[in-house]
Amino acid sequence: DINDIDDRSLSVTVTDLDEKKSERPVIGKTLKKAEEAKARKKMRLAKRLKKVRKRAENLPDDLTERETWSKIKTMYKNAGLLNKKRRPVHRIVNTKAGSRGQAPPPRGAKIKLVDRRMKSDLRGTMKNAKRGRAGGKRGKAAGRGKAAGRGRSRGSR
């Protein structure tokens, strides 16, 4: 009967289970050294922040609001508090011969496929920006219209 099976007592006690659990290393637990390093980093950051705030309070009052904000921003920048960590961008360049044994992208990197046309397009826009003129598509004359760019008219065959 099912009830007889459920009523059986287990030979393992709760204390035995606790003992076994304490012997097994916890995978999710971080190392003490790593925790200490993180704490030190946090402390240094807090110290720098405190210093910058103190310096910001001592700014002269005769400055305009814009000047004040720019000074505060430079203070934060010099203290290294405005640096945002960016994920590295790994460029995969498409060549005619295909990829020629490239190094694998770093962990957590954004992958960007780069084409020959993209690179030349970028060069052209940069050159135009340097010269101070607008570049880009030329509208209907450059193959955007109905019969433009076809070579011959449709009527004569």
For residue 33, count CB atoms less than 10 angstroms from its CB and return exposed for 0-12, middle for 13-18, buried for 19 or more.
Answer: exposed
- Residue 105: the pLDDT is 76
- Residue 16: the pLDDT is 83
What is the pLDDT averaged over residues 11-27? Answer: 76
- Residue 11: the pLDDT is 73
SS (H, E, C) 40-107: HHHHHHHHHHHHHHHHHHCCCCCCCHHHHHHHHHHHHHHCCCCCCCCCCEEEEECCCCCCCCCCCCCC
How many angstroms separate the CA atoms of 35 and 23, rounded?
22
Token code pair at residue 117 = 């046309």
Q: Answer whether residue 36 shows pLDDT above 90.
A: yes
- Residue 51: the pLDDT is 92
Asked if 50 contacts 79 with a C-beta cutoff of 8 angstroms, the reply is: no
Amino acid at position 57, single letter: E
Q: What percent of the chain has pLDDT over 70?
A: 71
What is the pLDDT averaged over residues 84-106? Answer: 70
Least confident of 93-97, 131-135, 139-143: 139-143
- Residue 39: the pLDDT is 94
- Residue 44: the pLDDT is 92
Q: Which residues contact 91 (CB under 8 A, 6 or more apart)?
A: 112, 113, 114
**Nearest C-alpha neighbor of 83 from the set 48, 111, 39, 57:** 48
- Residue 42: the pLDDT is 92
What mean pLDDT, rounded, does the chain reach? 77
What is the pLDDT averaged over residues 109-127? Answer: 85
